């Protein structure tokens, strides 16, 4: 038996690379801090003071990943946007319960830590936090050779927000006669990428650098998920309820904010579908498209008729339907 010494580096884990990575991201992380962040970077836990002004504050939490969109990022080497997706998928869920995002944490697991690649990813997370107006107060980087291939990595995100207890129940405020407003998506967002990859690369034999609508296909497919936090904050008093349109599309996500006896009538002709969805619809059944993708609608707001005009004037929202009495669910007409 050999008595030759072995090190952690021999096992595939480079502690020095990890330390270099932490140093490299400090400025990006600090750029997301607000006055409620306590302490700096490098402690065992992130600390955040509860904002003042709440009568009955309730903490809300959300967690998500990026799905197989991450595989496209890894294959293309374009890693600067998936961090935005990670934040978006969490904070867009929080606001649906009238929670204001406070802080965010991430988990980055890889086969071999490549500091330059990891810095790009975390820079994207920091940008997502700036767009979502929340602080990046912690994270974990795990180098796990044997668990992941050398260049592969996975991401998970965790966000915490705060809400007034009396404002959280939105469903009880929803009723027939209210109007459905669509807020446009920026693209495919972060759902349905297994179908996207199957169609574009397996069935059609396309490549990431093929031109699509005047730019490389990969840029369209990796367009980061839009974050709706600023619009929510600016219009909070005029919103009855809102639904984040993710996997399942409008038909499965909108009913989550409807009470029994209320049905959503969505005028399909008013939905401003994006070119990427129009293209995929040539090869995928329409019903499947609407059950898988956002189809150009990243979020749906339910509002009272008297507030429609002011919201349309101050945002890029547009009317796609209304609520009527009927069986709970969605009719795409």
Give the C-alpha distances (Å, rounded to integers) separating 127 from 23, 82, 84, 87, 226.
Answer: 18, 10, 6, 9, 12
Domains, the chain, in order of start with CATH, read 15-167 (3.30.1330.10), 171-332 (3.90.650.10)
Would you state the pLDDT for residue 1?
55
Would you state the pLDDT for residue 23?
79
pLDDT at residue 4 tops 90: no
Would you state the pLDDT for residue 24?
75
Nearest to 240 by CA among 297, 296, 305: 305
Would you state the pLDDT for residue 3?
66
31-63: pLDDT as tens digits: 999 999 998 777 789 999 999 999 999 999 999
R_g of the chain computed on alpha carbons: 22
DSSP secondary structure, 75-136, as one string: HHT--SSHHHHHHHHHHHHHHHTTPEEEEEEEEEEESS--HHHHHHHHHHHHHHHHHTT-EE
189-199: pLDDT as tens digits: 999 999 999 99
Q: How far apart are CA 122 and CA 33, in angstroms?
A: 15
DSSP secondary structure, 189-246, as one string: TTS-HHHHHIIIIIIS---TTSEETTEEHHHHHTPPPP--HHHHHHHGGG-SEEEE--
Confidence tier at 7 by pLDDT (50, 70, 90): low
Would you state the pLDDT for residue 6?
62
pLDDT at residue 239 tops 60: yes
271-329: pLDDT as tens digits: 999 999 999 999 999 999 999 999 999 999 999 999 999 999 999 999 999 999 999 99
Q: How far apart are CA 329 and CA 139, in angstroms?
A: 39
Would you tell me the crossing angle of helices 15-30 and 115-131 to the nearest 10 degrees?
A: 20
With pLDDT > 90 as the criterion, what percentage of the chain qualifies?
Answer: 87
Nearest to 188 by CA among 63, 295, 81, 89: 295
Q: Is the CB of residue 83 less than 8 Å from the CB of residue 153?
A: no
Cα first-last separation, the chain: 74
Instruction: Report the chain's mean pLDDT, rounded to a whole number.
Output: 94
Q: How many CB atoms lie within 10 A of CB 292?
A: 21
pTM as predicted:
0.94
Q: Which tokens go with 56?
A: 């009955």
243-259: pLDDT as tens digits: 999 999 999 999 999 99
Would you state the pLDDT for residue 2?
59
Would you state the pLDDT for residue 272?
98
Would you state the pLDDT for residue 40?
78
179-191: pLDDT as tens digits: 999 999 999 999 9
Confidence tier at 10 by pLDDT (50, 70, 90): low
């Amino acid at each position: 038996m050999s008595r030759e010494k072995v090190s952690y580096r021999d096992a595939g884990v480079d502690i020095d690379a990890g330390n270099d990575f932490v140093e490299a991201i400090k400025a990006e992380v600090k750029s997301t801090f607000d006055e409620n962040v306590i302490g700096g970077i490098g402690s065992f836990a992130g600390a955040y003071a509860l904002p003042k002004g709440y009568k009955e504050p309730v903490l809300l939490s959300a967690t998500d990943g990026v799905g197989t969109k991450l595989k496209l990022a890894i294959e293309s080497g374009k890693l600067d946007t998936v961090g935005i997706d990670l934040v978006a998928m969490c904070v867009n869920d929080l606001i649906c319960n009238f929670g204001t995002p406070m802080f965010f944490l991430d988990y980055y697991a890889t086969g071999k830590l490549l500091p330059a690649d990891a810095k790009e990813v975390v820079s994207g997370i920091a940008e997502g936090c700036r767009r979502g107006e929340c602080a990046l107060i912690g994270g974990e980087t795990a180098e796990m050779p044997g668990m992941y291939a050398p260049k592969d990595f996975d991401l998970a995100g965790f966000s915490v927000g705060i809400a007034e207890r009396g404002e959280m129940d939105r469903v009880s405020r929803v009723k027939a006669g209210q109007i459905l407003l669509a807020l446009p998506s920026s693209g495919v967002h972060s759902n349905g990428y297994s179908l996207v990859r199957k169609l574009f690369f397996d069935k059609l034999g396309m490549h990431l650098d093929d031109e699509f609508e005047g730019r490389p296909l990969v840029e369209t497919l990796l367009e980061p998920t839009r974050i709706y936090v600023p619009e929510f904050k600016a219009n909070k008093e005029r919103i009855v309820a809102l639904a984040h349109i993710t996997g399942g599309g409008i038909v499965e996500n909108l009913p989550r904010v409807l009470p029994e006896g209320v049905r959503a009538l969505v005028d399909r002709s008013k939905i401003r579908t994006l070119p990427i969805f129009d293209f995929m619809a040539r090869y995928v059944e329409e019903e499947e498209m609407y059950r898988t993708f956002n189809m150009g609608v990243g979020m749906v707001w339910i509002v009272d008729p008297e507030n429609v005009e002011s919201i349309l004037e101050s945002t890029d929202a547009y009317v796609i339907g209304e609520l009527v009495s009927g069986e709970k669910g969605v009719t795409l007409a």
